[in-house]
Amino acid sequence: MLEQSIIKDIIVAALAEDIGSGDVTTSSILTGEEMGGARAVAKSRMIVAGIDVFKEVFLHNDPDVCFGQSTIDGQEAMPGDVLVELSGRLAAILTAERVALNLLQRMCGIATMTRSYVEAVKGTTARILDTRKTLPGLRILDKYAVRVGGGFNHRIGLYDGILVKDNHIEAAGGIKSAVERVRQAAPHTLRIEVEAATLQHVKEALAAGVDIIMLDNMSLDQMREAVDCIKGRALVEASGNVTMERVRAIADCGVDYISVGALTHSVTAADISLKVTGNR
């Protein structure tokens, strides 16, 4: 579930950015008292995510907006399907339209892409993970959409997971030194993950007793060799150069996790339109 206070902060900032001192176009055309309805309609196949966020945008702008037929997160929608019906003051609906659609389209796009990756590795033991390559300010929504699509979240931020990357290793003078420092300073409840770009790095990480080894930008042959070397002594994550065309082959190497930055940094927004259905 999404934390309501975080959603509110995102919506408040987004509406303030868009509306500024006022919606000049809408206020010039409408008095603000005209009543009517609108429908959010899918224009392509998608996995729905962010319906409650979409609704909250309108409710923040006008608490009297009402909602009728609605899909639910995780549901598949086809072109022409009505995702949400709403009614109320048309001026309030039109003013909130763009922000509501921006958030819904992004979240549906992420969930849809995630579902495609999850389906591609079906039948293997690999789980699809997201990364921290999210849109600043929208991370909590991005990662929620990944879960709706059937994926899993990597760490939310720098505070809830340990990932020793190449620059940490360089700064510490090696994997052994970096891991020793982490063990001395970081909470013992957090698992330690180390990035490995070579088989030698994998062996050093194993010797250091880490919990997860991230195989960074390795070829398929290198990944298979690394998995064989690890032999279950640590969990294995594949990262870097993960594409839809390649993800199944990566999963077949025997890795436990596959992290896909594209889920959030290269997402294509789902095609959704909001159509006013009349006024009264």
Catalytic residues: 98, 133, 165, 195, 216
Which stretch of DSSP H or E encloses residue 119? helix 90-120
254: Cβ contacts below 8 Å, ≥ 6 apart: 125, 224, 227, 236
Distance CA 86, CA 93 (A): 9
Q: Are strands 82-89 and 235-239 parallel, antiparallel or unpaired?
A: unpaired
142 in Cβ contact with 135 (< 8 Å): yes
Q: Are strands 192-196 and 162-164 parallel, antiparallel or unpaired?
A: parallel
25 in Cβ contact with 126 (< 8 Å): no
140 in Cβ contact with 268 (< 8 Å): no
Distance CA 201, CA 226 (A): 10
CA atoms within 13 A on the CB side of 147: 13
Residue type, 262: A
Residue 95: φ, ψ to 5°: -70, -35
Nearest residue to 83 (alpha-carbon basis) of 55, 61, 59: 55
Distance CA 71, CA 207 (A): 51
Residue type, 215: L
